[in-house]
Amino acid sequence: MESRLVPTPRSLADVELQSRDTIGQGWGKIERFVFRHRRHDGEWSEEVTRDVYTIGEAVNVLPYDPKLDAVLLIEQFRACGLAWGEATWLFEVVAGMRGEEETPEEVARREAIEEAECRLTALHPVSTVWSSPGGYGERTYLFVGIASLEGVGGIHGLAHEHEDIRAVVVPLAEAHAATQDGRIRDAKTTLLIQWLMLNKSQLA
């Protein structure tokens, strides 16, 4: 079977942006885009209106200790479940937003210290992804970080950012099982754990 997983060559010349307006502003912003785009048959689409919510660029890192074959995860309350009447304290990888003039690698190292007092000795880029491209403008950098996790854990976070973070170190096998039994329900965390399960031999 011939592979068809070849991206269609496209650029901004294939998008006709008619308007871009900010319709909501808080922690992030909601923008309304009105546009047409080139269709796969070469013709132009009809006018489309989409609302996109963007906070910024996110950096996510899964700290891994090859000696212990263990990973560091954090647990904190997230507001996402309130939309569905759920109380969502979620296990996640270390994460933070990229500041001006910061590299993604600098953010990963900074957040590992802020959220877990964990110092990363090496970083391995995994991918740069769109977390929910239908309506979320967040561009997300994914890393696995090498660290000594002996003695790491406890409660951390920055008070001025309203953070209340519990850091836990668990065997990689248990983290992987948690992606299958419902204890881990965060997409980026599931992706990074599964990537590590497949590629950890490259990180020794």
Which residue numbers are catalytic?
161
Cβ contact 189:178 at 8 Å: no
- Cβ contacts of 107 within 8 Å, gap of 6 or more: 59, 96, 97, 98, 99, 141
User: Alpha-carbon torsion 11, 15, 20, 23, what sign?
Assistant: negative
Distance between CA atoms of residues 47 and 163, nearest Å = 42
The DSSP-derived string for 25-57 is: ESSSEEEEEEEEEB-TTSSBPPPEEEEEEE--E
Residue type, 160: H
Distance between CA atoms of residues 156 and 158, nearest Å = 7
